[in-house]
Amino acid sequence: MCGIFACHCHPDVQKFKSTALKMGKAVRHRGPDWSGNWIANSTILVHERLSIVGVDSGAQPLVNDDETISLAVNGEIYNHRILRKTLKTPYNFKTHSDCEVIIPLYLEYDLDTPRHLDGMFSWVLHDKKQDRVIAARDPIGITTFYLGRSSKTPGAVYFASELKCLHPVCDDIISFPPGHIYDSKTDKLTRYFDPKWLTNPTTIPTKPVDYKELRTTFENSVRKRLMAEVPYGVLLSGGLDSSLVASIAQRETLRMNGEAKKRQAATNGAANGYEADGHAAGHLVGIDDSNQLATVQVLPQLNSFSIGLPGAPDAKAAEEVAKFLGTKHHTFTFTIEDGLNALSDVIFHLESFDVTTIRASTPMFLLSRKIKALGVKMVLSGEGSDEIFGGYLYFHNAPDKAAFHQETIRRVQNLHLADCLRANKSTSAWGVEARVPFLDKKFLEVAMNIDPADKMITKDRIEKYILRKAFDTTDEPETPAYLPDNILWRQKEQFSDGVGYGWIDALKDTAAENVTDEMMKNPKPEWGDDIPDSKEAYWYRCMFDEHFPSYCASTVMRWTPTWSKQTDPSGRAISIHAQKYETAKD
């Protein structure tokens, strides 16, 4: 991930430059590799770079030949090579960056530019001739992005990757809506991502599940996210979603290594660890026209990472998966004290006071620091599957398929305020990029158009049955198993539970020590109607207030289960869980 800050139509942009650079510095953790800025007319773009693709030449902001178009991007454009070849007008590319293609796309397609992009992204582009800014965010909001305004500069509009570099200069901030584009000509946000499953939620799909299509589409999704020129790995909790991602990534790594070795043998290898195209051996370089990895490098052994309290359910399962797949696995442990000590920092980086987000983010935050220390800059992760397939345990209570389908849509729409925010900010806090294959546009189109009757949980079907079935090769003797059966068919374990049941218990107990009954009866007046419903929630909100002004709270969403009287978001609190909260004390 990278960090961006931008301001358009500032009354004194030269004077504002020093402040803008400070705001960019506030998100330097997202992009520790390089800093850049660009001023044109009354607009400034500031960029903090994490180099993953085009490492040697992709410094930003990117600018075209006549310096009329400037661009700052956070994210990855997986189809950039295909887009470069399909441009109607030749364009002089200055870098190998996957993001530079946005400039010629804008010159050809204007506001339709993001419709052509396959990836995760937030970007701000300035057109000097028109003195126009357009900004866009990826369809689901995998990358975090905010838009702000200030009563002190009423004509200006601000953009940033995180709240922490907006609230010092803005007093009105919103989360930039996913799948939208902003145009300063009209000063409006317009939806560009408009698939029928999203825009017509009352139309219930009737297409039966095609298991082969589901499997193939997801494999392609993982494959394209291996586009990198730096060491990468997979986050492996031992649950279904991350295990499938790891399995496919490992298969692709082994396949590419085999092909690369054959090519090397044919050309007598390369000297000093470098290949004929000049890229360092051991790194991927991209995707070809058929969505296949295109590289001649031998990849290093795939790294997988897990974290938990000693004896955590997920850590044990992750080790079993890693052994089965043959990844180079790293199991890290943390203590409850480690987690409690990190809470304030976690909330500062998350910019949220949502209970379930904080519970799950703390172990991920600690793990990301360990991953960065090992020299890994990009990881694949399993977010999104539970929203798409109704994998949370409360989906057992869905009354009918229409309600089930509409709840999956609601969850997908809110991912940018929940699991995507967690994955993005927990990893970006340490300069690590998380990629999420389940939220691929093509995969979403397939998965969200399946008849929800096939997704529903019944006495004969465990949660996410169709995803499990798609990767069950029992009836395919010539196809190696993707996962051990006990992992493929393992019950859902939410990450904050899976890292060790004692973690949530400790958070509740510590919150009770810090928040009195009297405090609960007298919430802060500035909270308005947004009153915490538990001591744990109250505690987190107080920590949030230490970092951010009260108006930032409007960007936060509370995660709660539907069809349940239980307000605690822990999976163990749902009655169907094999080890309910009441009986799970360690």
Could you list the active site residues?
2
Whether 125 has a binding-site annotation, put simply, is: no
Whether 210 has a binding-site annotation, put simply, is: no
For residues 164 and 207, what is the distance between their CA atoms, to the nearest angstrom? 44
Annotate 25-64 with b (16+ C-beta within 10 A) or e (fewer).
ebbbbbbbbebbbbbbbbbbbbbbbbbbbbbeebbbbbbb
Q: Is 493 helix (H, G, I), strand (E, B) or coil?
A: coil
H/E stretch holding 364 reads helix 355-373
Q: Residue 97 corresponds to which amino acid?
A: S
- What tokens appear for 452 in the block? 């929800």
How many CA atoms, within 13 angstroms, populate the side-chain half-sphere of residue 343? 27
- What tokens appear for 539 in the block? 């505690």
Whether 326 has a binding-site annotation, put simply, is: no
CA distances from 470 to 39, 447, 461, 464, 487 (A): 51, 12, 14, 10, 14
Q: Is 188 helix (H, G, I), strand (E, B) or coil?
A: strand
Whether 45 has a binding-site annotation, put simply, is: no
Cβ count within 10 A of residue 337: 9
Annotate 376-414 with b (16+ C-beta within 10 A) or e (fewer).
bbbbbbbbbbbbbbbbbbbbbbbeebebbbbbbbebbbb
For residues 451 and 236, what is the distance between their CA atoms, to the nearest angstrom? 29
- What tokens appear for 26 in the block? 């506030």
Contact by Cβ (8 Å): 250, 232:
no
For residues 166 and 26, what is the distance between their CA atoms, to the nearest angstrom? 9
Cβ count within 10 A of residue 205: 17
User: DSSP string spanning 315-336?
Assistant: HHHHHHHHHHHT-EEEEEE--H
Q: Where are the beta strands (DSSP E) in 50-110?
A: 62-63, 69-77
CA distances from 449 to 196, 205, 229, 455, 563 (A): 9, 5, 34, 11, 23
Whether 576 has a binding-site annotation, put simply, is: no
Q: Which residues are annotated as a binding site for L-glutamine?
A: 98
Q: Which residues are annotated as a binding site?
A: 98, 235, 307, 381-382
Q: Which residues are annotated as a binding site for ATP?
A: 235, 307, 381-382
